[in-house]
Amino acid sequence: MTLGPLKLTPVHVEKPWGGWALGRLFGRPLSDGARIGESWEVSDRPEAQSRVAEGPQKDRTLAELRRTFGEDLLGSVATAISPGRFPLLIKWIDARELLSVQVHPDDEAARALGEPDPGKAEAWIVADATPGARMVYGLRERMTGEAVRAAAESGGLEPCLGWVTAQPGDCFMVPPGAVHALGAGIVLYEVQQNSNITYRLWDWGRTGTDGRPRDLHLSQAEAVLDGGFSPQGPVPPIRVSLGEGSRRFAVACSHFAVEILEIPPSGSMADRCDGRSFHALTVWSGSGEIVWEGNRPSRLSLSPGETVLVPACAGDYHLTSASGLKVIKSFVPDLDADVITPLRRAGVAEEDIRRILY
């Protein structure tokens, strides 16, 4: 059987800092009083498994599909970079309140610290933000890990933090080692390595549900933080026209690439999974369909907030727009073949290409 695109059921995760924006933005039914901080759209984790929402693979988990279909699902490039596990974890995040100040290790540091997960690089696409919303994105001035730890231990870390404003459409790359904290009033789409490692540096003096301060991870944070990562603006995307629509290259690294596809009403856009990587497609706004051939012409509807995983073996597919469609596309790239060469062919300057590469 040819494995076609798979619509996934999101996993809602309650957080004390979460809110109700996913219901407002995407019309999702949320339990009364539930504060949904995260919606895991593509997840192959022991604590949360994505399941197929409809079609021949309905109710199967992403882990089951990975074990059954292997490279046909993941692709050769994705399998090579993340053998034995699905490479990405993709979420919507609704920060109704300020999150803790955190830092993540890279792969090498995670191994050295004995972590079962790999490191964590992540990218943020801001989908919605209240006017003036801000977030911590680095340190105001260069500091050693020892100095950052001392400031956290003394309760004096806050003056050391760098802040940036966040507006809808902004893209931020959060590399391993970058000190960061998502601010209140921001809804974003997060693409990250499939890792759940977080080293907490500071939590603004708050207490947990048990009335006690939440645990900090100061020794680990000191070992992995980049004291020279300072505030900077969002990554400037590169827009390339594609027939009726456009493709915005947002950010790319060896672990993932993120694009934003925009298709006008009644328009369509062709794409292809050629066996190297899956495509994870999440509808930011608008509606339409994904259409592919396979053994016979097939289609799935696309509505705001929904995610479809296109297997690496799926071949050609089309996105069609009913009311104007904006889709976030994530995959594991061959940086030269999937990002650098297409942009050069489109006449993009080398310095502009370098700005989106990490």
- Residues annotated catalytic, as ranges: 200
DSSP assignment string, 323-334:
S-EEEEEEE---
Q: Please name which of 229, 221, 230, 105 lies closest in space to residue 153, comparing C-alpha atoms.
A: 221
- Listed in sequence order, the DSSP H helices in the chain are 21-26, 62-69, 71-74, 76-81, 107-112, 145-153, 218-224, 341-345, 350-356
- d(CA 42, CA 56) in angstroms, rounded, equals 19
- Token output for 181: 């904290």
Non-local (6+) Cβ contacts of 150 within 8 A are none
Q: Please name which of 176, 284, 166, 152 lies closest in space to residue 233, comparing C-alpha atoms.
A: 166
- Three-state DSSP state, 245: strand
- d(CA 246, CA 68) in angstroms, rounded, equals 35
- Three-state DSSP state, 277: coil
Non-local (6+) Cβ contacts of 347 within 8 A are none
- Three-state DSSP state, 355: helix
List strands edge to edge, sheet with 171-174.
Answer: 11-19, 36-42, 88-95, 186-193, 122-129, 171-174
Element (H, E) at 9: strand 6-9
DSSP code for 207 = B
- d(CA 346, CA 183) in angstroms, rounded, equals 36
Contacts of 61-70 with C-beta under 8 Å, sequence gap 24+, read: 62/8, 62/86, 62/309, 65/3, 65/6, 69/3, 69/311, 69/313
